């Protein structure tokens, strides 16, 4: 009866209020956001070396999304999309700092300038949930202030803790500040246990520099390496993250809040410290390895335990999902690009939308595994996934080499069937022209809908004769 009663109340509230009115059983919402955690870096994701018993248990108690994506290939734009509920063309956050990163003489076009931060007038999920009666708190990495950005307080967070203790390093007993941030989140939960709350916990783990406690590292140094993963330092850092998640969940259990708390977990972009094979690429690119994420949602009052979902979802979906669960209403003049996942969480097999999109009109230096380019993680590109089909449109060739008229020969587009070829190794752009043209048309229509800025000007400093080898960077943003 403990599972049926909250679910029944939620059903009554949703069906009588249209998911817009106050409901006495509004769920608490906890979003745990890892940093640089690859799609296979957890136990439930398939790692044979890392140990994540807390995440694995929570995943099994809810719904695992096996085709989950970030909205961007690296951290700042992904976070801007998550918090705003909008794709990159709407807020203009495309990269960390600049979209002109790498050898300028090898860039054929002038990139679209970056907006470094989420503007104060953006209407965040925290603002929306606050209007719906929620206490709101962030504990961890914000990364959206920037010169033109805004603070968490300006974006609707009541309680804010972003500290990393000291400049760039944490205490030996608190790697990546995982435990102190979790403690702060637990205190916030305790203080607000009698009202609905939203906890946003964007961890610094497992971004470099990799940190762990000495005893955790020693454990993995003595462990037999797996066939997929074998880095003891990284595995130890992953375990610290998992431990912190376990502490947070125990607090919810102790306070008897776990039954009607929606807990979501995912990462900001593709992994970088581990191989993403069999997927192509890694953080910073728009092949699957750069944007495919681990993800689950646990909500015992609503979600049947032990379920999986193969519908493609993306992190802009969290905003409308949380808002619908909270009985809130979108801001009329702020379009949301995601779709509520509530139908999937309740057992339905599909969403209304036909496609999801990505747009990166710039350059990121540092080549990726099996990438298209020997120098850049990505050049200007836009991407659409529609059903099993995924199309990449590269703007240099599209704008400068004849576009649609020369599409058969200019390499402006790549087309893959992700169901048959998740490694994105068999380009079907020439052999499937009808599907290719359909997706190009859909992508161009999306440019119009979102007023996407496209790179159009040639780079006067471009020198095709320049020889430039890719540079290895320890900390690619």
Name, in order, each residue with C-beta under 8 angstroms of 227's C-beta and a sequence gap of 6 or more. Answer: 48
Q: Tell me the per-residue pLDDT of 175-211, one tens digit each, with 9 for 90 and over.
A: 999 999 999 999 999 999 999 999 999 999 999 999 9
Average per-residue pLDDT in the chain? 92
pTM score, whole prediction: 0.93
Q: Tell me the per-residue pLDDT of 247-262, one tens digit each, with 9 for 90 and over.
A: 999 999 999 999 999 9
Q: How far apart are CA 270 and CA 177, in angstroms?
A: 22
Side-chain-side CA neighbours of 48 within 13 Å: the count stands at 7
Q: How far apart are CA 344 and CA 191, in angstroms?
A: 32
pLDDT (tens, 9 = 90+) of the chain, 477 residues, equals 344 444 444 444 443 333 433 345 899 999 999 999 999 999 999 999 999 999 999 999 999 999 999 999 999 999 999 999 999 999 999 999 999 999 999 999 999 999 999 999 999 999 999 999 999 999 999 999 988 899 999 999 999 999 765 544 568 899 999 999 999 999 999 999 999 999 999 999 999 999 999 999 999 999 999 999 999 999 999 999 999 999 999 999 999 999 999 999 999 999 999 999 999 999 999 999 999 999 999 999 999 999 999 999 999 999 999 999 999 999 889 999 999 999 999 999 999 999 999 999 999 999 999 999 999 999 999 999 999 999 999 999 999 999 999 999 999 999 999 999 999 999 999 999 999 999 999 999 999 999 999 999 999 999 988 866 555 545 567
Paired tokens of 132? 């719906």
Please give the full DSSP string across 6-74, using - where no structure is assigned.
Answer: HHHHHHHHHHHHTT-S--TTPPEEEEEEESS--TTSSTTTT-SS---HHHHHHHHTSEEETTEE-SSSS
Neighbours of 227 (CB within 10 A): 7
Instruction: Specify the pLDDT at position 23.
Output: 43
Q: Which class for 417: exposed (0-12), middle (13-18), buried (19 or more C-beta within 10 A)?
A: middle
Is 297:29 a contact under the CB 8 Å cutoff? no
Side-chain-side CA neighbours of 350 within 13 Å: the count stands at 6
């Amino acid at each position: 009866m403990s599972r049926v009663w909250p679910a029944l109340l939620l059903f009554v509230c949703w069906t009588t209020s249209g998911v817009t009115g106050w409901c006495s059983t509004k769920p608490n919402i906890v979003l745990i956001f890892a940093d640089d955690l690859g799609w296979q870096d957890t136990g439930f994701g398939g790692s044979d070396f890392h140990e994540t018993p807390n995440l694995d248990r929570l995943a099994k108690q809810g719904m695992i999304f096996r085709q989950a994506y970030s909205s961007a290939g690296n951290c700042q734009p992904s976070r801007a999309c998550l918090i705003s509920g909008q794709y990159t063309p709407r807020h203009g956050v495309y990269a960390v700092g600049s979209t002109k990163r790498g050898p300028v003489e090898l860039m054929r076009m002038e990139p679209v300038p970056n907006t470094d931060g989420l503007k104060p007038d953006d209407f965040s999920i925290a603002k929306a949930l606050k209007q719906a009666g929620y206490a709101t708190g962030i504990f961890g990495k914000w990364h959206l202030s920037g010169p033109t950005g805004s603070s968490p307080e300006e974006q609707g967070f009541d309680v804010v803790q972003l500290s990393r203790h000291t400049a760039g390093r944490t205490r030996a007993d608190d790697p990546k500040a995982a435990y102190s941030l979790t403690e702060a989140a637990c205190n916030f939960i305790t203080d607000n246990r009698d009202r609905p709350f939203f906890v946003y916990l964007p961890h610094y783990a497992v971004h470099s520099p990799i940190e762990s406690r000495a005893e955790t590292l020693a454990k993995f140094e003595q462990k037999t390496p797996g066939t997929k993963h074998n880095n003891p330092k990284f595995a130890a850092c992953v375990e610290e993250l998992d431990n912190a998640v376990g502490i947070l969940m125990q607090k919810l259990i102790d306070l008897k809040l776990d039954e009607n708390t929606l807990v979501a977990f995912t990462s900001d972009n593709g992994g970088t410290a581990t191989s993403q094979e069999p997927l192509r690429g890694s953080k910073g690119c728009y092949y699957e390895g750069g944007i495919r994420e681990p993800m689950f949602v646990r909500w015992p009052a609503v979600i049947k335990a032990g379920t999986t979902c193969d519908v493609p979802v993306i992190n802009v979906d969290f905003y409308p999902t949380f808002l619908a669960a909270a009985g809130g209403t979108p801001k009329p003049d702020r379009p949301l690009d995601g779709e509520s996942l509530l139908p999937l969480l309740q057992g339905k097999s599909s969403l209304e939308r036909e496609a999801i999109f990505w747009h990166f009109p710039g350059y990121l230096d540092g080549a990726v595994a099996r990438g298209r380019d020997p120098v850049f993680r990505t050049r200007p590109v836009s991407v659409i996934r529609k059903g099993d089909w995924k199309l990449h449109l590269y703007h240099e060739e599209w704008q400068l080499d004849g576009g649609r008229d020369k599409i058969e020969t200019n390499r402006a587009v790549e087309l893959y069937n992700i169901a048959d070829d998740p490694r994105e190794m068999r380009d079907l752009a020439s052999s499937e022209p009808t599907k290719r043209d359909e997706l190009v048309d859909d992508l161009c229509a999306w440019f119009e809908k979102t007023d996407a800025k496209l790179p159009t000007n040639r780079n006067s400093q471009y020198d095709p004769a320049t020889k430039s080898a890719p540079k290895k960077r320890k900390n690619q943003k």
